[in-house]
């Protein structure tokens, strides 16, 4: 197409036939959504002295009008939907463009008409028009009562989702809007800044009527309401709230940690709300969307007991509460432990076994029960992550696969916890030098401590799965799985297991990439292959697993899926991970899959990452 002088950007973007003929086609703006408009009749004519758009007791007709684009076929609109009753949703549907609707309006009000149009390519466009319906006989705008119309977005909404309410009034400069958001008599909220919107979060499924009242400069009022539909996620099991308090008993001015991260939803849903009562005053003290961990101190606290509770809400609006008691003793009653650690040898050579020994750690009024180690060099002076947990074993042997990049070395440390829940840390610097291959001497490793925990995980299958390749009539190869998994490990009491080792829990919250082969066996199917799991962090650890899945015997119209896994090797914090487990997998109607089962894990000698798993990381 030839470009002629006189062609301007405005002519091309207006999509006129003239612009299309004289402009280069690359300049002509492509339409990405339908551009339908609303035309309403009756409306005030040139000699009509009515104050508003129409009188109460009249019937309006609204029609859809396109913009006359010469490059679009007449039937490019596939569907039109109308909302003319002022309630949630589009109540009238037409499988074509150019549709029209009508409604009798009995009472004065401010009515918003909405149109949603979808074209043949699935693009969606929106248009709306607000009508001021006034009482019959009013011809002066100053005599017309005020009007208000409110909308809710989103509507329907999900439990825990923030909903925005916007109000349109006849005079946006002088009108004031008050809101009824709690369903109780009266309008309890007015935006002090003068904006005509409000926000609210609903924590239970159901239908809620939200109202607004407008007050104009003359002191006259009008009201309008909208019905908000709140939906749950479809689960059937309430959540489980659980939290730990450390230390307990506590002393005034001592830092206390409340950890509710072991709370979970057994049916695979999400926890959306955390309500804590941890201070000595009526009601809930902390109410936030994502606050499983609280750290605080108490001052001028007398000896005695303080009742505590945590209430969690899941994505179905179900709640569960756990109560505990925090005991206070006079200041100076307890002493924290003292952490100490020796490193031998230091400096070391790449591949040389290094012994980290914290047996010199002590507790003046009790004993040290737990040792956690930071050995991967990823910590900083202000941020530490203790990725290895040896429980009550006070030493560990570790080898470094790379030399340290700085002369001062990397930061390593230990965190010890005593029988009162108090903690102390010790850190030093470790230097690892390159050199010739080091033939290590036999080193006695501490006995691996095996731990059994419960596994819960949630997978979004439509996002994770991609198609494979067929092979014959009964098999499918190269079925890909890639994306993030949401899971955790739990102790029998419901608390999150942080010593299993810790890297295993991080892998269950990381990114996964797998390639499986699916085969038909009798009346069922079996799948197997390798998976690469990546734990989040500044220096992420990787683990290679072998996965096996098979369908079980149908029961009550549902087919269970049984699975197992075994860790084959890894790098960084996952190099010494020993873990295997069995689980059941349930596919829900919304496309999510929920896994639950048992995991046996321990820390052992480092194993290299299999080459086949490394190839998964490159795809």
User: Which of helix, strand or coil describes residue 11?
Assistant: helix
H helix and E strand count, the chain: 5, 43
Asked whether residue 124 is domain-assigned, the answer is: yes
Closest among 183, 185, 184, 181 to 167, alpha carbons compared: 181
- Are 564 and 483 found together in one domain? yes
Q: Hey, what are 550's tokens?
A: 């098979």
Taking phi over 0 as left and psi of -120 to 50 as alpha, with beta for the rest, 285 belongs to: alpha
- Are 366 and 494 found together in one domain? no
Asked whether residue 403 is domain-assigned, the answer is: yes
Asked whether residue 233 is domain-assigned, the answer is: no
The dihedral over CA atoms of 192, 194, 196, 201, expressed in degrees to the nearest 10, equals -20
Instruction: Yes or no: say if 403 and 438 are a contact pair by the CB < 8 Å rule.
Output: no
Distance CA(407)–CA(409), nearest Å, equals 5
- Are 277 and 356 found together in one domain? no
The residue out of 366, 401, 433 marking a domain boundary is 433
Residues in the chain, pLDDT under 70: 1-32, 42-51, 67-75, 88, 141, 192, 379-383, 406, 435-450, 460-479, 490-500, 521-523, 552-560, 587-592, 617-619
- Are 497 and 612 found together in one domain? yes
- Are 36 and 22 found together in one domain? no
Asked whether residue 280 is domain-assigned, the answer is: yes
- Are 597 and 492 found together in one domain? yes
Cis status, amide bond into 612, omega within 30 of 0: no
User: Which of helix, strand or coil describes residue 357?
Assistant: strand
- pLDDT, residue 27, reads 47
Q: pLDDT of 32-72, one tens digit each? A: 677 778 888 865 444 455 667 888 888 989 898 876 655 56
Q: For residue 16, give its domain range.
A: 1-28
Instruction: Yes or no: say if 97 and 66 are a contact pair by the CB < 8 Å rule.
Output: yes
- pLDDT, residue 45, reads 46
Asked whether residue 205 is domain-assigned, the answer is: no
The residue out of 76, 110, 133 marking a domain boundary is 133
User: N- to C-terminal Cα distance for the chain?
Assistant: 42
The residue out of 133, 159, 175 marking a domain boundary is 133
Q: What is the CATH number of the domain that holds 366?
A: 2.60.40.10
If you ran DSSP here, which 8-state letter would residue 393 be given? -
The Cα angle at residue 423 between residues 296 and 251, in degrees rounded to 5: 50
Asked whether residue 474 is domain-assigned, the answer is: yes
- pLDDT, residue 397, reads 92
Cis status, amide bond into 345, omega within 30 of 0: yes
Please tell me the total count of domains within the chain.
5
The dihedral over CA atoms of 599, 603, 606, 610, expressed in degrees to the nearest 10, equals 0
- Are 562 and 513 found together in one domain? yes
User: Which residues lie closer than 8 Å to 436 by C-beta, 6 or more apart?
Assistant: none
Asked whether residue 179 is domain-assigned, the answer is: no
Asked whether residue 16 is domain-assigned, the answer is: yes
- Are 482 and 596 found together in one domain? yes
Strand 368-374: give its sheet, edge to edge: 388-391, 368-374, 410-418, 423-430
Q: Please name the residue that has the structure tokens 């049916």.
A: 267
- Are 562 and 429 found together in one domain? no
- Are 467 and 581 found together in one domain? yes
- pLDDT, residue 137, reads 77
- Are 280 and 411 found together in one domain? no
- Are 66 and 104 found together in one domain? yes
Q: pLDDT of 68-121, one tens digit each? A: 655 566 667 889 999 888 776 788 999 988 899 999 988 888 888 889 999 887
Distance CA(322)–CA(565), nearest Å, equals 33
């Amino acid at each position: 197409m030839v470009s002629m002088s006189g062609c301007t950007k405005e002519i091309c973007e207006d999509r006129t036939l003239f612009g299309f003929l004289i402009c280069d086609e690359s300049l002509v703006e492509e339409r990405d959504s339908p551009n339908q408009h609303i035309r309403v009749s009756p409306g005030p004519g040139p000699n009509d002295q009515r104050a508003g758009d129409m009188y109460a007791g009249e019937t309006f007709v609204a029609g859809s009008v396109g913009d006359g684009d010469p490059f679009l076929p007449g039937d490019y609109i596939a569907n039109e939907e109308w909302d003319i009753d002022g309630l949630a949703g589009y109540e009238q549907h037409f499988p074509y463009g150019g549709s029209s609707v009508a409604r009798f309006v009995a009472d004065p009000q401010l009515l918003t008409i909405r149109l949603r149009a979808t074209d043949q390519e699935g693009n969606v466009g929106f248009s709306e028009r607000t009508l001021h319906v006034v009482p019959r006989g009013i011809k002066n705008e100053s005599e017309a009562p005020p009007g208000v119309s409110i909308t809710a977005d989103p509507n329907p909404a999900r439990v825990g989702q923030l909903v925005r309410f916007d109000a349109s009034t006849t005079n946006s400069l002088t009108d004031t809007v008050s809101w009824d958001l709690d369903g109780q008599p009266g309008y309890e909220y007015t935006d002090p800044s003068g904006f005509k919107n409000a926000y609210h979060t609903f924590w239970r499924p159901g239908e809620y009527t939200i109202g607004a009242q407008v007050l104009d400069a003359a002191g006259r009022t009008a009201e309008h309401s909208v019905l908000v539909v709140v939906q749950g996620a479809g689960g059937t099991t309430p959540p489980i709230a659980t939290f730990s308090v450390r230390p307990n008993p506590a002393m005034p001015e001592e830092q206390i940690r409340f950890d509710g991260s072991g709370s979970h939803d057994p049916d695979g849903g999400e926890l959306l709300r955390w309500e804590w009562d941890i201070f000595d005053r009526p009601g809930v003290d902390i109410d936030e969307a994502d606050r499983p961990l609280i750290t605080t101190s108490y001052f001028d606290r007398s000896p005695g007991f303080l009742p505590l509770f945590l209430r969690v809400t899941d994505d179905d609006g179900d709640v569960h509460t756990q109560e505990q008691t925090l005991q206070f003793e006079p200041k100076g009653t307890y002493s924290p432990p003292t952490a100490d650690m020796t490193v031998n040898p230091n400096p070391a050579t790449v591949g040389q076994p290094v012994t980290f020994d914290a047996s010199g750690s002590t507790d003046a009024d009790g004993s040290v029960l737990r040792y956690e180690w930071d050995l991967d060099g990823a910590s900083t002076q202000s941020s530490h992550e203790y990725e290895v947990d040896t429980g009550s074993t006070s030493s560990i042997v570790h080898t470094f696969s790379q030399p340290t990049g700085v002369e001062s070395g990397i930061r390593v440390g230990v965190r010890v916890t005593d029988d009162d829940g108090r903690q102390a840390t010790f850190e030093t610097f470790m230097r690892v030098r390159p050199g010739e291959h080091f033939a290590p001497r036999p080193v006695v490793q501490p006995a691996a401590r095996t731990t059994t925990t419960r596994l819960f995980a949630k997978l979004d299958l439509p996002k994770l799965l991609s198609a494979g390749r067929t092979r014959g009539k009964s098999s499918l190869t190269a079925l890909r799985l890639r994306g993030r998994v949401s899971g955790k490990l739990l102790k029998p009491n419901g608390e999150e297991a942080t010593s299993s080792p810790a890297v295993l829990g991080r892998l269950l919250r990381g990114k996964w990439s797998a390639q499986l082969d699916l085969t038909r066996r009798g009346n069922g199917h079996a799948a197997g292959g390798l998976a690469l799991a990546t734990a989040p962090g500044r220096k992420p650890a990787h683990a290679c697993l072998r996965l096996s899945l098979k369908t079980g015997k149908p029961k009550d119209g549902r087919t269970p899926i049984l699975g197992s896994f075994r860790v084959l090797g890894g790098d960084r914090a996952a190099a010494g991970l020993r873990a295997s487990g069995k689980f059941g997998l349930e596919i829900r109607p919304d496309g999510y899959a929920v896994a639950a089962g048992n995991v046996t894990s321990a820390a052992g000698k480092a194993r290299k990452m299999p080459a086949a798993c490394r190839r998964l990381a490159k795809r």
